[in-house]
């Protein structure tokens, strides 16, 4: 029963999409809130970075733990989940030319998440909830810390069901036919993982909230059970990001190059593998917990998770592969890498996406796979290796992809041209340089044993002092310099976004459509050629890149097992 009128929609001149105004307002507010939280969380992160530099040590310990808790929660959860809500509404409504199922519930999502995030921020900045993102009992935070997290999670859960409802509406009102477009299917995958994640969070945070109120005598939380259930929330929340940014890679490949997935069936199957197995990666946080059996640890991390890794390999091959095929069809068919050399590196939508792909694959991805091996995990568990790894996935991968797509979303959603185009052009490089070197340096320091979650790695004045090798301190100093460079990249992004939204040249409604990127198949038909590629391979360059990734992974396994053999006293 369609009750919409024509004025509820506009046709966007930039993308050609039919845009529902109500849905667009919600996309705008979620995206805007995300960027504001990125700024706030990033400033806390800068404080953390400058304290972890052994030669600076900016903050006293109490402030450090407060900053670390705020940075972790705001950047790992709030910025990213607000942005994901914007992406889900964009996919469900705008990509399908559809309306949002229940805008009132969508507003409830926004306000619950905002109020929840504010409550957590007040609790942390109040100074009595510096319990880190994980908030492991018996560390106890103020009750409104847990309540804020619960409200935030409930809001996100509502958002997920609004998205699923929107897909039902689209099917009923026939705004698409057949299967969902691949990028929207990626959104469904992210949504499914998000629902598991959020329900797990509620399952553990509700009793923890009750425990923090002290209203039931003798009621306590078993720390081991807490860790098991919390990580179903804590790690899976990062898997939502992985799926969302991979969907964004597909979207950008299609937008910038008119590319089509090399095999849509295979890509969909890879998303199904994520739905089934990606959340099981949570186990790698518990590999050194003595109470859990090796059967549970090994079945999940050494068997099931490789099915999700296979899916990542498929996406990592098919996204650049589809770009290569599109470029070759458009005439850039010479040699192995002409297609890549002649890609639009000055367009931040593409450069950001490709840097995200490489950074995620080589830094976040490889290290995540290797650290999931129980034996190797023993060398680096609870060290700086962990922040190094997840800055490789979440910053170099997810955040970079979100930034890249924002440069495309601003004209479409906010109807403004990108202001400060020169800064935008440079931003992905500055941000990625900072994120990559920062991540690698921290992983180096972690491999040398430098503990995470500690304000002072020199342990000055502590009764049980421990002296790390000088190279570890050097790596921490070096890495944190690049954390500052990464912060500069983030600030450049925020300046471009705010300048574009508030002062960018307006794109009037009804203005002439922007030139479309030519479909690769149409361009190929014009060339009259029959084949592309080399020696029967349509995407030989991507094949070589995939081999390089594979060899790097094998070498990295070897290096870590070799290192393990040297730290093992009996060798």
Partner 1 sequence: MSESTNNTNPHFMQKVLDNNWLLLALGVLTPTVLYILWGLWDVIHIPMIP
Residues of span 198-217 touching partner 1 by CB under 8 A = 199-200
Shorter beta-carbon distance to partner 1: residue 224 or 567: 224
Angstrom distance (rounded) from CA 183 to CA 411: 20
Q: Residue 138 interacts with partner 1 (CB under 8 A)? A: no
| Per-residue H/E/C for 123-180 | HHHCCCCCCCCCCCCCCCCCHHHHHHHHHHHHHHHHHHHHHHHHHHHHHHCCCCCCCC
Angstrom distance (rounded) from CA 543 to CA 458: 45
CB atoms under 10 Å from CB of 5, counted, come to: 7
Phi–psi pair at 158, nearest 5 degrees: -60, -45
Angstrom distance (rounded) from CA 121 to CA 332: 51
Q: Residue 228 interacts with partner 1 (CB under 8 A)? A: yes
Q: Residue 188 interacts with partner 1 (CB under 8 A)? A: yes
Widest pairwise Cα distance in the chain: 80
Angstrom distance (rounded) from CA 21 to CA 19: 6
Q: Residue 236 interacts with partner 1 (CB under 8 A)? A: yes
Q: Residue 561 interacts with partner 1 (CB under 8 A)? A: no
Q: Residue 177 interacts with partner 1 (CB under 8 A)? A: yes
| Dihedral sign from CA coordinates of 322, 327, 331, 333 | negative
Q: Residue 229 interacts with partner 1 (CB under 8 A)? A: yes
Residues of span 302-321 touching partner 1 by CB under 8 A = 304
Q: Residue 291 interacts with partner 1 (CB under 8 A)? A: yes
Burial class, 564, CB count within 10 angstroms (exposed 0-12 / middle 13-18 / buried 19+): middle
Tokens 């923090």 belong to: 212
CB 389 within 8 A of CB 371: yes
Q: Residue 553 interacts with partner 1 (CB under 8 A)? A: no
Q: How far is the CB of 4 from partner 1 (least distance, A)?
A: 19
The interface region with partner 1, picked from 56-64, 280-288, 510-518, 534-542 by CB under 8 A, is: 280-288
Angstrom distance (rounded) from CA 118 to CA 63: 19
Q: Residue 36 interacts with partner 1 (CB under 8 A)? A: no
Angstrom distance (rounded) from CA 316 to CA 551: 15
Q: Among 34, 106, 275, 366, which residue sits at the site for partner 1 (rule: CB under 8 A)? A: 275
Shorter beta-carbon distance to partner 1: residue 238 or 560: 238
Return the closest-CA partner of residue 342 out of 354, 360, 356.
Answer: 354
Q: Among 219, 296, 466, 502, which residue sits at the site for partner 1 (rule: CB under 8 A)? A: 296
Residues 6+ apart with CB under 8 A from 210: 216, 219
The interface region with partner 1, picked from 80-88, 134-142, 168-176, 495-503 by CB under 8 A, is: 168-176
Angstrom distance (rounded) from CA 85 to CA 496: 22
Q: How far is the CB of 247 from partner 1 (least distance, A)?
A: 15
Residues 6+ apart with CB under 8 A from 415: 12, 506, 507, 508, 509
Q: Residue 293 interacts with partner 1 (CB under 8 A)? A: yes
Q: Residue 178 interacts with partner 1 (CB under 8 A)? A: yes
Q: Among 43, 108, 292, 433, which residue sits at the site for partner 1 (rule: CB under 8 A)? A: 292
Long-range contacts of 414-418 (CB under 8 A, 24+ apart): 414/28, 414/500, 414/501, 414/504, 415/12, 415/506, 415/507, 415/508, 415/509, 416/500, 416/501, 416/504, 416/505, 416/506, 416/507, 417/500, 417/504, 417/505, 417/506, 417/507, 418/496, 418/500, 418/504
Q: How far is the CB of 174 from partner 1 (least distance, A)?
A: 7
Number of residues this chain uses to bind partner 1 (CB under 8 A) = 44
Q: Residue 283 interacts with partner 1 (CB under 8 A)? A: yes
Shorter beta-carbon distance to partner 1: residue 119 or 191: 191
Q: Residue 192 interacts with partner 1 (CB under 8 A)? A: yes
Shorter beta-carbon distance to partner 1: residue 115 or 266: 266
Q: Which residues pair with 9 in a beta bridge?
A: 20
Q: Among 64, 257, 277, 436, which residue sits at the site for partner 1 (rule: CB under 8 A)? A: 277
3-state SS, residue 467: coil
Q: How far is the CB of 235 from partner 1 (least distance, A)?
A: 10
The interface region with partner 1, picked from 178-186, 370-378, 422-430, 439-447 by CB under 8 A, is: 178-186
Q: How far is the CB of 569 from partner 1 (least distance, A)?
A: 27
Rounded to the nearest 5 percent, the helix, strand and coil shares of the chain are 70, 0, 25
The interface region with partner 1, picked from 65-73, 282-290, 353-361, 465-473 by CB under 8 A, is: 282-290
Q: Among 28, 171, 425, 454, which residue sits at the site for partner 1 (rule: CB under 8 A)? A: 171
The interface region with partner 1, picked from 6-14, 61-69, 298-306, 340-348 by CB under 8 A, is: 298-306
Q: Residue 455 interacts with partner 1 (CB under 8 A)? A: no
The interface region with partner 1, picked from 228-236, 426-434, 460-468, 544-552 by CB under 8 A, is: 228-236
Angstrom distance (rounded) from CA 168 to CA 265: 22
Q: How far is the CB of 10 from partner 1 (least distance, A)?
A: 26
Q: Among 299, 543, 557, 561, which residue sits at the site for partner 1 (rule: CB under 8 A)? A: 299
Q: Where on the chain is the footprint of partner 1 (CB under 8 A)?
A: 164, 167, 171-172, 174, 177-180, 185, 188-189, 191-193, 195-196, 199-200, 222, 224-225, 228-229, 232, 236, 268-269, 272, 275-277, 279-280, 282-283, 286, 291-293, 296, 299-300, 304
């Amino acid at each position: 029963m369609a009750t919409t009128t024509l004025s509820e929609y506009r046709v966007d001149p930039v993308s050609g999409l039919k845009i529902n105004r109500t849905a667009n307002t919600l996309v705008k507010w979620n995206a805007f809130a995300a960027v504001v939280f990125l700024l706030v969380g990033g400033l806390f992160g800068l404080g953390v970075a400058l304290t972890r530099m052994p030669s600076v040590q900016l903050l006293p310990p109490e402030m450090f733990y407060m900053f670390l808790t705020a940075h972790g929660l705001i950047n790992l959860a709030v910025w990213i989940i607000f942005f994901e809500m914007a992406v889900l509404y964009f996919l469900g409504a705008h990509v399908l030319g559809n309306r949002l199922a229940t805008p009132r519930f969508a507003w409830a999502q926004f306000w619950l998440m905002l109020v929840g995030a504010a409550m957590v921020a007040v609790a942390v900045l109040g100074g009595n909830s510096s319990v880190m993102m994980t908030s492991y009992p018996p560390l106890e935070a103020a009750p409104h810390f847990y309540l804020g997290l619960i409200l935030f999670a409930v809001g996100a859960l509502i958002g997920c069901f609004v998205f699923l409802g929107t897909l039902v509406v689209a099917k009923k009102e026939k705004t698409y036919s057949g299967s969902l477009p691949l990028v929207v299917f990626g959104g469904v995958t992210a949504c499914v993982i998000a629902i598991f994640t959020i329900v797990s969070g509620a399952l553990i945070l509700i009793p923890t909230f009750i425990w923090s109120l002290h209203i039931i005598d003798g009621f306590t939380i078993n720390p081991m059970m807490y860790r098991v259930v919390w990580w179903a929330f804590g790690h899976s929340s990062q898997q939502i990001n992985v799926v969302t940014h991979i969907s964004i890679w597909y979207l950008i490949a299609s937008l910038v190059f008119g590319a089509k997935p090399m095999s849509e069936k295979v890509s969909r199957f890879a998303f199904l593998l994520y739905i089934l197995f990606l959340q099981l990666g949570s186990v790698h946080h518990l590999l050194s917990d003595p109470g859990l059996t090796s059967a549970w640890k090994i079945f999940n991390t050494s068997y099931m998770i490789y099915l999700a890794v296979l899916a990542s390999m498929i996406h990592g091959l098919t996204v650049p592969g589809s770009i290569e095929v599109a470029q070759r069809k458009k005439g850039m068919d010479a040699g192995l890498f002409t297609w890549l050399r002649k890609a639009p590196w000055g367009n931040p939508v593409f450069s950001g996406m490709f840097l995200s792909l490489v950074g995620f694959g080589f830094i976040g991805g490889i290290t995540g796979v290797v650290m999931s091996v129980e034996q190797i995990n023993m060398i680096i568990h609870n060290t700086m290796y962990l922040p190094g790894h997840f800055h490789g996935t979440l910053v170099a991968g997810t955040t970079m992809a979100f930034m890249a797509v924002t440069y495309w979303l601003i004209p479409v959603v906010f109807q403004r041209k990108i202001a400060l185009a020169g800064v935008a052009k440079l931003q992905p490089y500055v941000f990625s340089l900072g994120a990559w070197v920062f991540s690698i340096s921290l992983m180096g320091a972690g491999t040398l044993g430098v503990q995470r979650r500690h304000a002072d790695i020199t342990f000055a004045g502590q009764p049980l002092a421990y002296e790390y090798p000088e190279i570890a301190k050097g790596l921490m100093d070096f890495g944190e310099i690049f954390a500052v460079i990464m912060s500069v990249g983030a600030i450049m992004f925020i300046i471009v976004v705010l300048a574009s939204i508030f002062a960018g040249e307006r794109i009037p409604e009804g203005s002439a459509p922007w030139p479309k990127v030519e479909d690769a198949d149409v361009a190929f038909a014009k060339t009259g050629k029959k084949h592309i590629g080399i020696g029967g391979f349509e995407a030989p360059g991507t094949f070589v890149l995939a081999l390089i990734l594979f060899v790097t992974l094998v070498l990295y396994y070897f290096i870590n097992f070799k290192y393990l053999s040297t730290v093992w006293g009996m060798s």
